[in-house]
């Protein structure tokens, strides 16, 4: 019987956009990498976290793919992935703890294959909690929270990361109470940059391009240098 080698991460960073299989604490992680144009590439990688796995959240969610597109257009490599138990990722839902460990595992791989790159974390809804939780233990240079599920997960117990933080919230969110997000953001010291989007629901229907513009404008002053600039 043939011996199956253990799963292993790629030992070099991919040169083309496409699917990836990475290794996490629960087993294989299904991921997708989007790379910027070479002339626009910056020394940074963003990991993007999707909404709740038990409510059909995947890395193919439209808000997640728009975040990935926006960050790639800014020159970052954008890596979105399926949490454990979603798609072809091994394991099962773990309430944010195991999912944050998956983010940490991906970040450790990135430190090996792209040493020196700035690490950005972004998340939508439940993914915002996972990203903020992972930021407790990672050298994050930018945190992005979209529609953070502050009523369902314990954001209040998380230490504020020592990096710029952007929170984007629709004023007509039907899943997360906007006032709960506004009150929570006001309680964080120093406060994150809060972007309130009027006439916008939780899933940003018909407002995805506005989300793209708001995000790109909010983080443009914190972009890593172009890769060729050393």
Each residue's pLDDT tens digit, 14-42: 999 999 999 999 999 999 999 999 999 99
What pLDDT is attached to residue 37?
Answer: 96
Q: Rounded to an integer, what distance in angstroms lies between the CA atom of residue 103 and that of residue 86?
A: 14
Domain ranges for the chain: 18-214
Could you tell me which of 48, 128, 47, 54 has the C-alpha nearest to residue 92?
A: 54
pLDDT at residue 97 is higher than 80: yes
Q: Rounded to an integer, what distance in angstroms lies between the CA atom of residue 106 and that of residue 75?
A: 20
Could you tell me which of 230, 214, 182 has the C-alpha nearest to residue 74?
A: 214
Q: How confident is the model at residue 7 (pLDDT cuts 50, 70, 90)?
A: low
Q: Rounded to an integer, what distance in angstroms lies between the CA atom of residue 177 and that of residue 181?
A: 7
| Mean pLDDT along residues 136-157 | 97
Which structure tokens are listed for 142?
């930018």
Q: Rounded to an integer, what distance in angstroms lies between the CA atom of residue 22 and that of residue 42?
A: 22
Where do runs of H (alpha helix) occur along 74-163?
97-113, 126-134
pLDDT at residue 5 is higher than 70: no
pLDDT at residue 227 is higher than 50: yes
Could you tell me which of 71, 192, 188 has the C-alpha nearest to residue 122?
A: 71
Q: Rounded to an integer, what distance in angstroms lies between the CA atom of residue 4 and that of residue 205?
A: 45
Pick the CATH number of 18-214 from 3.40.50.1820, 3.40.50.11540, 1.10.510.10, 3.40.190.10: 3.40.50.1820
């Amino acid at each position: 019987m043939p011996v199956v080698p253990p799963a292993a991460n790629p030992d070099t960073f991919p040169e083309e956009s496409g699917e990836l299989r990475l290794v996490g604490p629960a087993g294989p992680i299904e991921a997708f990498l989007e790379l910027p144009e070479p002339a626009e590439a910056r020394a940074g990688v963003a990991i993007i976290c999707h909404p709740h796995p038990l409510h059909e959240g995947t890395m193919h969610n439209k808000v997640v793919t728009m975040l990935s597109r926006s960050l790639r257009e800014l020159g970052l490599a954008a890596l979105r992935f399926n949490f454990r138990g979603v798609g072809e990722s091994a394991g099962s839902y773990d309430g944010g703890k195991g999912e944050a460990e998956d983010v940490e595992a991906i970040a450790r791989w990135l430190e090996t294959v792209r040493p020196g790159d700035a690490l950005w974390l972004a998340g939508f809804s439940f993914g915002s909690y996972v990203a903020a939780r992972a930021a407790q233990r990672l050298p994050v240079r930018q945190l992005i929270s979209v529609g953070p599920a502050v009523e369902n997960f314990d954001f209040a117990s998380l230490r504020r990361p020592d990096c710029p933080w952007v929170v984007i919230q629709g004023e007509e969110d039907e899943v997360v109470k906007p006032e709960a997000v506004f009150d929570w953001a006001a309680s964080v010291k120093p406060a994150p940059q809060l972007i309130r989007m009027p006439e916008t629901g939780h899933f940003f229907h018909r407002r995805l391009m506005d989300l793209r513009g708001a995000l790109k404008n909010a983080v443009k002053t914190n972009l890593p240098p172009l890769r060729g600039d050393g």
